[in-house]
Amino acid sequence: MSTEATTHPTRVADAKKVGMVSLGCPKALVDSERILTRLRADGYAMSPDYAGADVVLVNTCGFLDSAKEESLAAIGEAISENGRVIVTGCMGEEADAIRAAHPQVLAVTGAHQYEQVVEAVHEHAPPSQGPYVDLIPQPDIKLTPRHYSYLKISEGCNHSCSFCIIPDLRGKLASRRIDAVLREAEKLVAAGTKELLVISQDTSAYGVDTKHEMRQWPKGPNAREVRAHMTDMARELGQLRTSDDKAPWVRLHYVYPYPHVDRVIPLMAEGLLTPYLDIPFQHAAPSVLKSMRRPANEAKVLERLKKWRDICPDIAIRSSFVVGFPGETEEDFRYLLGWLEDAQLDRVGAFRFEPVEGARANDLPDPVPEELKEERYARLMEVTERISSAKLEAKVGRTLPVIIDEVGEPDEDGDIGATGRSQADAPEIDGAVYLRNVPETLQSGDIVDVSIEDADAHDLFGVISD
């Protein structure tokens, strides 16, 4: 169980305490942060463990059956350890299944239903004293380290992919106002964030539902009209500055390769955006993409990747792929492997197809046997690992900017190591840069130039350059 607030305002001694177990994707983590921030404003304190909590919130994931099993296990653990549990999140849409497995739960709410969650906490653990004794407003609660933050720009999705039930869980696309997004980003950077990770279900579609409405930004005499559009948002985020007058890293996740994505690549070349794109390709074979109900333009994508690298040679592309989708033939799979050889993606994750209750893909003919899924998964990972090894080996001898995530303790010789990430590495999902012999003054969140000395299939190794 992990809930680490980054600030500890003065509270009344008998304030009710709330614990949080947050599962699933970064979008769910942002939901957890918002729920806890609302509860703290209502006078609740946060508990880092089960024993000290008056009530425990479990923010669930319901995308895959395996995720649902993990969510049910987490609910069971919270009930066993604490007994007073409120469930929210994507699996909250299946309240009957949750109550069938755990009838003791106090309440169940769905994804991003903040008001209902807060009301449930008020009902089952009424606040003892109301809001803070403090009169100074407190910053929002963060469940990530101080130096990086997720910036959620929208909810929901307009796609109808046959393997996905996200629109059923989180609804259609609902974009936040551009001025609200930029104001949150500005506050995060002012509070110490060095890296902004832009997330949504479809970052490229940001503002489509609002017809890319214009808003005034920033407040004051320098206000100008800014459009709710991915490219405009990215350009504005690139104008932010940290307390030491440096541009924060701005990393774009869940980017569908619509044509206008081409326009953010020059922003990376100019240094306004981190040269990194997370694009969920899912597959490359036209027949599989058609069954997935996704665009089948893999050849054009290869051309665009080449153009992007011509404009910004350091751009890193990460993606994820599904193997064993119903109807996937050996020819389809070999097509995917060949496409990956041509695409030379920097970071690749893979998933074995798993039926999701309610997804249309479950009714497709010719399911792939589990043992064949495993065999194809292993073959794909072998190819992508070889590509990754070669790409990382090519960075040996270069000097790269690295953001520090963790500084270790001195060893028996007094040497201190540290772990960080290059601009090609997002937290939790990509590789790391391991540093030797760092100064004792180095801190998490510092961005330093690192001479790369070695590499393996996933990570880099180096020393801070003189």
pLDDT of residue 299: 60
- Looking at this protein, which amino acid is placed at residue 345? L
Which residues of the chain fall below pLDDT 70? 1-13, 128-139, 295-299
pLDDT of residue 6: 40
Same-domain pairing of 388 and 426: no
61: domain CATH number is 3.40.50.12160
Residue 129, C-beta contacts closer than 8 angstroms, at least 6 positions apart: 12, 14, 15, 43
Q: Compute the distance between CA of residue 106 and CA of residue 128 in angstroms, rounded to an integer.
A: 19
Tens of pLDDT, residue by residue over 162-205, are 888 777 777 899 999 999 999 999 999 999 999 999 999 999 99
Same-domain pairing of 441 and 304: no
Same-domain pairing of 103 and 174: no
- Final residue of a domain: which of 369, 393, 417? 393
Residues in the chain: 466
- Final residue of a domain: which of 364, 393, 422? 393
Same-domain pairing of 113 and 182: no
Range of the domain at 431: 399-464
Counting the structural domains of the chain, the total is 3
pLDDT of residue 127: 83
- Final residue of a domain: which of 90, 124, 158? 124
Whether 134 is covered by a domain: the verdict is no
- Looking at this protein, which amino acid is placed at residue 279? I
The reply to whether the predicted model has a pTM over 0.85 is: no
- The whole-angstrom distance between residue 357's C-alpha and the CA centroid of its chain comes to 24
Same-domain pairing of 157 and 258: yes
Which tokens is 244 given?
């030491």
Instruction: For the sheet with 195-199, list strands across it.
Output: 148-152, 195-199, 249-252, 276-278, 316-323, 347-352
Give the number of other CB atoms < 10 A from CB of residue 118. 17
Tens of pLDDT, residue by residue over 129-168, are 544 444 444 567 777 888 999 999 999 888 888 888 777 7
Whole-angstrom Cα Rg for the chain: 23
Whether 3 is covered by a domain: the verdict is no
